[in-house]
A and B are shown apart, each in its own frame.
Chain A
Amino acid sequence: MELTAEILIPSEDPAEGEVLALSAPISFWGGVDPKTGIIIDARHPERGECVAGRVLALPGTIGSSSASAVLLELIHAGKAPAAILMAEPDAILLLGVVVAREMGWATPPALRLAAADQAPLAGRRVALEGDRIFVLGEAGARP
């Protein structure tokens, strides 16, 4: 299976990972530990999951304007998502990627994908190349 999506922030390298599809909007600041990538928001349904190395699908972002700082720290610490899928572009969160690129650090790609298209990808392994998303299989499966 293959999907195409609008590129929000391109990446030179292809990205691959298991999709962590959040079932509720999240605030990165206060919601994700910047050192580990673990979701720490006590009220979030995916609390305890880790965003590091996953293809993170976000139905929406809420809350603090420090989300970009948390994402920049995750990128610098090597704990960033492998890629980000967002229902709507968000000038707060994605600024973390924009700044990381200015700093010369390797950055994950960000693509625009409607929430309805995100949910079926939950737990699947996907590869991203340019504006294409290839669904490789179930969680943990190798292509």
Chain B
Amino acid sequence: MLALTQEERALAAGEQGRGAAVAMRVVAEAARLMGAPRLLPIASAHIDGALYHGDSGTLFAEALVDGGARVSVPATLNVGALDLVGCSRVRLGARAREMARRMMRAYERMGCAPTWTCAPYQAGHRPPAGADVAWGESNAVAFCNSVLGARTNRYGDFLDIACAIAGRAPDYGLHRPENRRATVVVDASGLSPGLRGSEAFWPVFGTWYGLALGSAIGVVAGLQGFATEDRLKALGAAAASSGGVGLFHVAGVTPEAPDLATACGGPDGLAAAHVIHVDGPALRAAAARLSTAEGDAVDAVAIGSPHLSLDEVVELDRLLAGRTARIPFYACTGRHVISALDADGRRARLEAQGITFVADTCVVVTPILERTDGVLMTNSGKFAHYAPGNTGLAVQYGALADCVESAVAGRLVREDRLWS
């Protein structure tokens, strides 16, 4: 049964304005739904509610602004529906564009930082391990919990901004240490080192992981020495697309998993854990699931879900090696990376080689692609998952190197031996 403090009840009753009252009531209602006994203070928020899906979200944000609502903790913003930096052209009609702009402005007026990225953790926003925060955007939630060790549930649109205004979140789920323990051990040590060391493995493994674990918490053995921050980012994004994954542990890599037993809450937890051995055929099936197209046609390439880090753009530049893409090639990233690319002239050079940068948004959340049919190639498990439904294009999945070679050749070029 939810118990609110006197201060919280006063907030919900409108003592600090209508907007704060709406936010407090939404937080309390979420707590009641999820069986939380109380609210807890949060250190920061990452807000996924500023993406335009239709007028309703704009109207809600403006109702909060009209009610005088302001965030009471530091809050970053996930992508919007517009490229405010102006790298790419968003094909929204005039009315939708205006509603999307009003929505983005409303969130900025509530005091949110205009980061406009789905990888805030690579834009300088990294809460310390153990901190309670309220983060939205499924890949950011997975990264925040798993790689940073901060504590957040999977905050949906509207609850994230409500928590940021109220400065509180429902105390349940992944905020509680006892709910962060792994109950499943995933043994990946039987996979070849060549596979585990390849970039293409991580989104495929993440896709398999999400399907196999759903929302259960697992600890993976056998990835120590292969994991990098960008690889864990790709794993989490894919797992949070194919399943309800909000937290995963990687033994010897992530902060709550120095070893398998610790990740499981002790030797008894490890002994009781369900063990899954992941093998080549399981990963081949997951890789096959990511591609929905047949044949060797590729009409466009899109990378950057989650938003590319500077390292990933540097790798793109290295693989392109001075050549030019013959088909549209979209590289989605945040303004934090764009400013670094502008500083050394790299953006202009890559644009001359056929790369279209997309800032503040991405190609599956707003209409940017030139066509609504054909085949999109990507190295992102998350793009592969959402592109068919959101853009109409069929998908070919491949490594970044495959994407670059396909773009230069104008048809599918893919190294498939990795999976055999």
Task: Check B242 for interface membership: any CB of A closer than 8 A.
Answer: yes
Task: Check A128 for interface membership: any CB of B closer than 8 A.
Answer: no
* Residues of chain B in range 13-64 having any CB-CB distance to chain A below 8 Å: 22, 25-26, 29-30, 33-35, 48-49, 51, 53-57, 59-60, 63
Contact partners of B48 in chain A: CB under 8 A: 65-66
On whether the beta carbons of B25 and A102 are closer than 8 Å, the reply is: yes
Shortest beta-carbon distance from B139 to chain A in Å: 9
* Residues of chain A in range 83-107 having any CB-CB distance to chain B below 8 Å: 89, 91-96, 98-100, 102-103
On whether the beta carbons of B159 and A89 are closer than 8 Å, the reply is: no
Known: A8-B33, A42-B292. Contact between A95 and B158, CB under 8 A? yes
Task: Check A19 for interface membership: any CB of B closer than 8 A.
Answer: no
Shortest beta-carbon distance from A84 to chain B in Å: 12
Contact partners of B53 in chain A: CB under 8 A: 29, 34, 66, 69-70, 73
Q: How far is the CA of A42 from the CA of B215 in the complex (A)?
A: 22
On whether the beta carbons of A103 and B60 are closer than 8 Å, the reply is: yes
Closest A residue to B26 using CB positions: A98
Shortest beta-carbon distance from A59 to chain B in Å: 11
On whether the beta carbons of B156 and A72 are closer than 8 Å, the reply is: no
Q: How far is the CA of A91 from the CA of B244 in the complex (A)?
A: 13
Shortest beta-carbon distance from B39 to chain A in Å: 13
* Residues of chain B in range 303-328 having any CB-CB distance to chain A below 8 Å: none
Q: How far is the CA of A76 from the CA of B51 in the complex (A)?
A: 16
Contact partners of A100 in chain B: CB under 8 A: 56
Task: Check A3 for interface membership: any CB of B closer than 8 A.
Answer: no
Stretch at the interface among B3-11, B228-236, B336-344, B385-393: B385-393
Task: Check A11 for interface membership: any CB of B closer than 8 A.
Answer: no
Q: How far is the CA of A67 from the CA of B156 in the complex (A)?
A: 7
Shortest beta-carbon distance from A33 to chain B in Å: 8
Contact partners of B160 in chain A: CB under 8 A: 65
Among A40, A60, A70, A91, which residue has its beta carbon within 8 angstroms of that of B159?
Answer: A91
Task: Check A132 for interface membership: any CB of B closer than 8 A.
Answer: no
A: number of interface residues (CB 8 Å): 41
Closest A residue to B55 using CB positions: A76
Q: Would you call the interface of chain B mostly helix, strand, loop, or mixed?
A: helix
Contact partners of B146 in chain A: CB under 8 A: none
Counting chain B CB atoms within 10 Å of each CB, the highest count among A29, A64, A70, A75 belongs to A64
Q: Would you call the interface of chain A mostly helix, strand, loop, or mixed?
A: loop
Task: Check B153 for interface membership: any CB of A closer than 8 A.
Answer: yes
Counting chain B CB atoms within 10 Å of each CB, the highest count among A73, A91, A94, A100 belongs to A91
Chain B 131-173 per-residue mask, 1 if CB under 8 angstroms from chain A, else 0: 0000011100100000000000111111110000000001000
Known: A60-B214, A70-B53, A99-B158. Contact between A89 and B34, CB under 8 A? yes
Q: How far is the CA of A93 from the CA of B34 in the complex (A)?
A: 12
Shortest beta-carbon distance from A103 to chain B in Å: 6
Among A25, A35, A40, A73, which residue has its beta carbon within 8 angstroms of that of B57?
Answer: A73
On whether the beta carbons of B60 and A99 are closer than 8 Å, the reply is: yes
On whether the beta carbons of A31 and B158 are closer than 8 Å, the reply is: no
Known: A73-B57, A89-B33, A103-B63. Contact between A65 and B51, CB under 8 A? no
Given contacts A29-B53, A63-B241, A70-B53, 20 further A-B contacts (CB under 8 A): A25-B214, A30-B364, A31-B389, A34-B54, A40-B390, A63-B242, A65-B136, A65-B137, A67-B157, A72-B56, A73-B54, A73-B55, A76-B54, A76-B55, A89-B33, A89-B34, A91-B170, A98-B33, A99-B60, A103-B63
Q: Could you list 26 A-B pairs, sorted by A, with CB under 8 Å?
A: A25-B244, A30-B364, A30-B389, A34-B53, A61-B244, A62-B214, A62-B242, A63-B240, A65-B136, A65-B157, A67-B157, A69-B53, A69-B156, A69-B157, A72-B56, A72-B60, A72-B157, A72-B158, A73-B55, A91-B33, A91-B34, A91-B154, A91-B155, A91-B170, A99-B26, A102-B25
List 5 A-B pairs, minimum CB-CB distance, nearest first. Answer: A92-B156, A76-B56, A73-B54, A42-B388, A69-B157
